[in-house]
Each structure stands twice: as structure tokens, then as C-alpha cells.
Amino acid sequence: MPVDAVSPESRTTAYTTLAAGDGFRHELEIKRSRFITVLRRTPDEDSARSLVSALRKEFHDARHHCSAFVLGPDRGVQRSSDDGEPSGTAGLPMLEALLKRETAAGVTDLSDITAVVVRYFGGILLGAGGLVRAYSDSVSTALETAPLVRRRRLRLCTVRVPHASAGRLENELRASGFLMAGTDYAAESAVLRLALPDDPAEVEQAAARLAALTAGSAALVPGGTEWVDADYFE
């Protein structure tokens, strides 16, 4: 689902997450042990734990199913599990790999993601340091090629105009750089929907631009907010 209701507790207005879908898989072999990393976008703890349970069934003969997840726009939920590996050698390094993942802009804000590393033991002991590197590298390497997207909190606004001017105004708003979320045609008028960054200054700027385009005849009505994948309306 690319659109979700916004959490009122959220302080941030944008973050990075895994693209929606069935998830992403990557495998490393280290000293004959197989490390199968599964990444999936997970909006809550239930979906994160469901992924771990599903992979335990799929890879039922594996020795370990270690996991880590980060949830929420503010990354307020962070959990990890060593699943039988020596304490601190698997889950925590995986969690740190998620938390330290940088975007192209150099920002570390990855969230709503679960990583599970399934290990098939190859008969060679790696030692504590070797395990930390193996689990950390497994997640970091998977993230290097995983499809990531930006999510933004947008303020959905409406503009009610006569049918005859709806098309022209929509084109002018698009040309001005505004993100249009569609137009609804009612019996007596048309309602244009705009998706603006959730920032009072942005809403004020949009209202001023609208007033200029319509000689003050149309008003911008701010509505609720939604979390949206960056390309959802585009």
C-alpha cells in the first residue's frame, strides 16, 4: 500500500523505506555458511513478526533465523533477535546496518523495514567477530541493491471552481509546480485536489499562488494528511 494515514505523533515529514512489494532477497556465502537476507517493507510489528514466522517455515531446516526491524517515521520502534547465535553477534549488527544505511543525499532515515538473515551453518566456526561482520555485511550488501523509495507526509487540499475553468486552472497549477491529486466533478462545480508538503509555509504559498491565478475567486481548503510514496501521484 503506497498510502497510509499519518500518525499524529510523527515529527518527521519524510523518510526512506523499501519499495512496496513482496520483498528483496540476497545471499552471501562466508566460510561455507550460507547467509540468506530477506528484506521486506513492514508498517507495524505484526507484519514484521509475520515475516519472521513465514521464513522459519520456508527455511525450516536452517539453524538460525536472525532478525531486526525499524518502524515508524521517527524510527521509534527498533527490535532485534540473535535467534540462538551468541548474544550481540547477529541481531544488533543487523539493526545497526539498517539504522546506518545512508541515502544518496547522505541521510540515515531508513524505516518501516524488516531484515531477516537465514543462516545455514557450513561447519566452520566464525567466532564472535566473524559473526558480527557476516550478519552486518549480509544486510548492508542487500541494501546496496534493494529498491528504496522516499515517503512524504502530504497535506491534501481542495479547490472548488466552476466546471468551465477547472481544466485551465489545473494546467496552470501543474505548470507552477504543484502536485495534483486529481479532480472531482460534482453537479454544480469541480473540486481540484492538491497534495502539498505538510508545511504551513508551503500551504500559504499555494494559497497565494491560487489567489493570483483566479483573481481571488477560488480558495484553498486544507484537509488531512497522508503518507505517500514519492511517485504515487506522478
44-54 pLDDT, tens digit per residue, is 999 999 999 99
Q: Which residues contact 3 (CB under 8 A, 6 or more apart)?
A: 226, 227, 228, 229, 232
Q: Are strands 64-71 and 179-185 parallel, antiparallel or unpaired?
A: unpaired
Q: Which domain holds residue 213?
A: 152-229
The answer to the question of residue 1 being in a domain is no
Last residue of a domain, one of 146, 165, 181: 146
Q: How many domains are there within the chain?
A: 2
pLDDT digits (tens, 9 = 90+) for 121-176: 999 999 999 999 999 999 999 999 999 999 999 999 999 999 999 999 999 999 99
Which of 67, 62, 29 lies closest to 51 in space, CA to CA?
67
- Residues 55, 141: one domain? yes
- Residues 181, 125: one domain? no
The answer to the question of residue 7 being in a domain is no
User: Which triple of cell numbers denotes residue 164?
Assistant: 468551465
H/E stretch holding 93 reads helix 91-99
- What angle, 0 to 180 degrees and rounded to 10, lies between the N-to-C axes of helices 163-175 and 200-214? 130
